[in-house]
Structures are given as structure tokens and as C-alpha cells.
Amino acid sequence: MREILPVLNGWYAAGAPFGLATVVAVHGSAPRAPGAAMAVGPGGEVVGSVSGGCVEGAVFELAQEVLADGTARPATFGYSDDDAFAVGLTCGGELTLLVRPVTPDLDPSFGAVARSVAAGEPVIVATVTDGPAPPGAVLAVWPDRTAGTLGSGGLDAAVTADARGGLALGATGLRHYGPHGRRREDAVSVFLQSFAPPPRMLVFGAIDYAAAVARIGDFLGYRVTVCDARPAFATPARFPAGVEVVVDWPHRYLGGTRTDGRTVICVLTHDPKFDVPLLAAALRRPAAYVGAMGSRRTHDERRALLLEAGVTDAELSRLRSPVGLDLGARTPEEVAVSVAAEIVALRWGGSGAPLTATTGPVHPPAGGRSPPAR
């Protein structure tokens, strides 16, 4: 979708209607992931792909029909046992698409979304794919605003909350709701497409705790990198598949790595020659979370060394040390849960207290919840 968006925005700005087909679900082996898109524009011009060639002809016809009648519709394509050359996927998988018409009248937020994507501003586009809600209805969700509607205030509110959670992790996928937004119902299917890259988790120190933290970071949707200056420890075999492993001095690697307000930095080396230059750099750059492992004595010694290195009290106030919430964790896996819990609580303003001791909504708006009951 990102690749074809400049062309689509040109059509949109010119007021030229186009049919947009988006992969919203994949089952089994399929050539494209959710979010892949193909569009049919003026004069039958085609951009993008939803299957690498298997079903594009049929999608072209569907897009023409959608443009003619102005009604969005889902479509599913799968493997045909009777005729492998029929409209289907010879790889044996199944794709579900939503094909919808796009015009300034039908989707007033499309231009704003395109501008945000071009500027690197995170946004999620939520689209009704099925159920008793307007088919193809669109709600665009930014961290600080929304545009459009899915046809119900309750549905808009529920999807906005979920979209902002997904935006923090760059998540794309189908969600299911009741007609008025109840999450325990599945009458309405809504496709949430994120235009934000997954946030980074940078784990420094290739120890056993790092493997557990990397695993839970990957599970939470982070793009995880483990860095250590010691080649004997920083080996891919010691970490989950999909986790990047880098051999480099931690502060040097961080110096050449872009971070932003969603980046999580976990320092697990508890060795001053690594920790001090690394944390001095980490505390002076954008990051959502900077945590360092070690005992309280280690923390006090490390704090003194950081002050000697010129780190200010204001910068030190960002440091989460000792790392994690007080769960009584002992094993590497339990410590990883403690660290993940602190990251989530810090992101959403959670207190870390048991829900039995708090009041108000279980899922409050970003920024905090009610204080513990007295």
C-alpha cells in the first residue's frame, strides 16, 4: 500500500474515482500479507498486487463492478482442486480481500492519510469489511485525532481505542465487534491497517535474561535487536528466530541507530565499562523506555558514575533502574515478564497495581487510570 499510495493520491487529488482492493486476511500459504493492495484507476490503469498474479484478473473485474455501483464488497480466493488454472491460488492458501470505491465524497480522509504517510506520521485506517455496518466505511485514527466514521459512535470509540494500541506497535489485522462496539461480539469485521513501522526494542547484553526479554519483545510486536561486544555471547543460535543479533560496542551501535518516541532500550550487561557510556547516550536521545538491570547497590554505583560523566539529574530521571516491576521474579522468563509489564504500564500510564485495588475503566484512555482505592 505504501508503494502505490503516491499514485493513488494523485488520482484522488484529481477527483478520479478508483477501486481499491486490500488483502484483509490470509489463511494457509498465500503470496501476500494483509495490507497488500491493488488499485484500478482511470482508463483501467492498474497499480499494485494482491497475489503476485494468481487472482489479479478477477480482482480487476471486481474493482470495475465496485466503481460502477459504488458499493464495497469482500471477496475470498482459494485453491481450486478441480482446476488449478481457475480463479484461485495454486499455492494452496486463501486470501480475503475488501474491494471498495474511493472518491473524495466516499472517503474524505484519504488525502490526509496519504499526507501523513508521506511525512512519516503514524496513522491507522480502519475499514468495515463485513457485518451490519456500512460496507467500506472508513475511520482514520492518529495519536491525537480521528476522521470519518464507521457508522456508530460506540463502534468508533472501540475501534479508536484498539487502533491507538495497534499504532503503538505498528499492528495490522482484522478485529471483530458488536454493532455498537462491544468487543465480546463478532458481528462486525473491521480491518485495521497500520502505517507505522514496528517500534524498536534494543537489548544490550547477550545474557540468558536477554534471550527471554527478546522473546517477549518479539511477542509484543517489537522489532528486536540484541547487541553485545563479545562475539562468544552474541550468536544468533542463542536467540529466537527473527531477532537481530549484532556484535559491537553498545554505545557505538546505539550512536549509529535511529531511535524515536516508541523505542525501548533495555541494558542488561550490568558492567560499568559497557553501561556508563551506553546509558549516557541513551538518556539523551528519544526513547519511550530506558531500563537497566542490576541490584540497588549496582544502581547507586552506576548513578554516581553517570553523574561524573556529565549526565544531569533530569536525564537520570528517565532511567528505570532496577529494571522491571516488583513481581518477585526470579527466572529469566519471569524477569522478562516484569520488564514487559513495566514497558506496557509506562506506555499507557498504568499504575502497575492489581486491578482489584483500582477504580474506573479497566482500559482507560492513554495517560493514566484512577488511583488505587483507599
pLDDT tens-place string over residues 182-197? 888 889 999 999 988 7
Question: Contact at 8 Å (CB) between 174 and 25?
Answer: yes
Q: What are phi and psi of 94, to 5 degrees?
A: -145, 135
pTM above 0.85, yes or no: no
At position 89, the amino acid (one-letter code) is L
Question: Contact at 8 Å (CB) between 72 and 97?
Answer: no
Per-residue pLDDT of the chain (374 residues; tens, 9 = 90+): 888 999 999 999 999 999 999 999 888 666 678 888 999 998 899 999 887 667 888 899 999 999 999 999 999 887 554 433 344 555 557 888 999 999 999 999 999 999 999 888 889 999 999 999 999 999 999 999 999 999 999 999 999 999 988 887 777 889 999 999 988 888 999 999 998 877 899 999 998 899 999 999 999 889 999 999 999 999 999 998 889 999 999 999 999 999 998 899 999 988 899 999 999 999 999 999 999 999 999 999 999 999 999 999 999 999 999 999 999 999 999 999 999 999 999 988 888 889 898 887 776 655 444 433 33
Which residues is 201 bridged to in the sheet? 224, 264
Euclidean distance between CA atoms 336 and 198, whole angstroms:
20
